[in-house]
A and B are shown apart, each in its own frame.
Chain A
């Protein structure tokens, strides 16, 4: 398929480290592909190779029909001619230029009136008109990030690369920048590749994800694919111990939300800013899941405990870990719980047993689903493809 970015590279540093792997990013639709992995895993190197700031020893990078790198053919396109936007981790704004001049940097070839118009448009889009004549050193972290976004977008890049765009910001600025990134991508109609080590950022921003560990791209796919079917135990471990389920808020009553997960209902305590969100990731730590033998009492009004969620399921696997036992349940979706070894003895738990998983509503965490392509929403209409 030509309508995608194909990246298949190997880059090694003489001092160790580097990146090896293959991934694709769809073109022509706004989307966010998140490169996820711990720090030092090679994520940034991957991004720099795509931008042309690093030159892999071996590989092929193709942007649609354009070849950016083909080591076999000795082809290499320098960063100047790739037309990608790069947002660096610490913004890297030009300190000797005002906000306006920073944004206008990549527009030198445009005639003056057109350049001014473009800068004004971006100042407005990122809501930084008031900062136009200030110097970067006088700006806050969130403001600098906005300017960095505007500067990268100004020349009309065909792909946006973001290196840890939310790192170093406080909570409210993070939410703002998250929202803005989505907004500008939709506005520009371009895909983005975003590097992060933060799992919540993956959930909040990603359509697709690539998991990178120790310099190797281990798995690439939609968020749901990767989270539901990790390619290896190493990927599963990198993704974390928590259960991550795709859900939809169907009702909010006070601070209690009802979330549909598959054909089940879960109750979760919601905060103010999540009231209007419908698509969510349900994040649930296995240690917050209690297990009761038997499965008779799922119906409401029959509670003998305060916990709001009772899910009947079947034990599919018992995996011994260092200090606890991980219990895999099938409740219509896969759910992990951890129990102690004595608890297992007392319950005499075996694979195939029917049990009830009990979860407090306050232990269920909801992360807004940030997908630009709105995968799995309603009747499957995808906004991007309708462009």
Chain B
């Protein structure tokens, strides 16, 4: 079994999930409660990775982060390094690729919070930020965990985007899925089968957790008699 690849995949998935929660939560809040028409546009943009072929997505990310692009140049001047074919570049790609998996459950959860609970908080002196942390987020935690789990699992399983942006550098960008592909190409079916089984079991466990959490934990309001 390719432990280097597994460790790399876990590291990538962890950082993708952590950063997506930080970026995705305010984005989801805005999508859930914002009032501008710009919202529709951003909503569609966030959902794009769901339907685009990973190669297309990977291609654009490669272009956007390459040394010819303003973004790539900016990164290079700041850090002295290049994004493509590095772990950081892979991280950027993973974040874009998994964006809908983090944002959509959060939007659904935030929208599901009874608006009057927020109004009650406002009348009790809470500002919007305080209301979010003391009312909206605690009532959405099953979805936050579901969003994290989905993002994590989705990142572990990505292939096309990694291949486009990261290439195949052992310990840097060679993730589990790439490793399996390599083993199969080398007709090394036993090694491929072992790693594949690990991925299968892992994904199954994660999905079980997600589905048991998404049941309405706070099935308590509004209690119409």
Contacts and interface: CB of A to CB of B under 8 A. Distances in A.
Given A94-B135, A96-B138, A136-B220, A106 B119 contact: no
A171 B120 CA distance: 27
B123 A141 contact: no
B221 A106 contact: no
A78 B122 contact: yes
Contacts of A136: 220-221
Contacts of B123: 51-53, 79-80, 82, 84-86, 152
Interface stretch (B2-10, B83-91, B124-132, B170-178): B124-132
A96 B122 contact: no
Given A92-B117, A95-B218, A137-B220, A155 B225 contact: no
A154 B116 CA distance: 18
A136 B114 CA distance: 15
Contacts of A94: 117, 120-121, 135
By size class, the interface of chain B is: 20 to 34
A179 B208 CA distance: 51
A232 B122 CA distance: 38
Nearest to A88: B116
Contacts of A58: none
Given A96-B138, A96-B218, A141 B125 contact: no
B108 to A, nearest CB: 18
A151 B223 CA distance: 19
A53 B115 CA distance: 11
A95 B225 contact: no
Q: Is the interface of A mostly helix, strand, loop or mixed?
A: loop
B40 interface: no
A95 B125 contact: no
Interface string B206-225: 00000000000010111111
B136 to A, nearest CB: 11
B39 interface: no
Given A51-B123, A53-B122, A90-B222, A95 B116 contact: no
Contact of B125 (A90, A92, A96, A155): A155
Interface string A57-100: 00000000000000000000011101111101010111110000
B139 A137 contact: no
A136 B219 CA distance: 12
Interface string B186-206: 000000000000000000000
A250 B126 CA distance: 51
Interface residues of A, number: 31
Given A53-B122, A137-B220, A92 B116 contact: yes
B118 to A, nearest CB: 10
A168 to B, nearest CB: 7
A151 B123 CA distance: 10
Nearest to B119: A53
A223 B76 CA distance: 77
Nearest to B124: A106
A155 B218 contact: no
B221 A96 contact: no
A105 interface: yes
Given A105-B134, A168-B225, A151 B218 contact: no
A106 B120 CA distance: 10
B157 to A, nearest CB: 33
A88 B221 contact: no
Contacts of B125: 80, 83, 106, 108-109, 155
A145 B125 CA distance: 20
A27 B198 CA distance: 70
A108 B129 CA distance: 14
Contacts of A106: 124-126
A106 B116 CA distance: 16
Nearest to B116: A92
Interface string A134-168: 01110001000000000110110000000000001
A92 B115 CA distance: 10
A84 B125 CA distance: 9
A169 to B, nearest CB: 10
Contacts of A105: 121, 124, 126, 134
A137 B223 contact: yes
A51 B116 CA distance: 13
A32 B100 CA distance: 51
A92 B220 contact: no
Interface in A19-72: 51-53
Contact of A96 (B121, B139, B223): B139
Nearest to B114: A92
B139 to A, nearest CB: 6
B7 to A, nearest CB: 37
Question: Most chain-A CB neighbours within 10 Å: which of B124, B134, B221?
Answer: B124
Given A51-B123, A92-B114, 8 more contacts: A80-B126, A83-B125, A86-B120, A90-B223, A94-B120, A95-B218, A105-B121, A108-B130
Closest 7 CB pairs of A and B: A106-B124, A137-B220, A86-B123, A79-B122, A95-B220, A92-B116, A96-B138
Interface of B: 114, 116-117, 119-127, 130, 134-135, 138-139, 218, 220-225
11 contacts: A53-B122, A79-B122, A80-B127, A82-B123, A85-B123, A86-B120, A92-B222, A96-B218, A105-B126, A108-B125, A154-B124
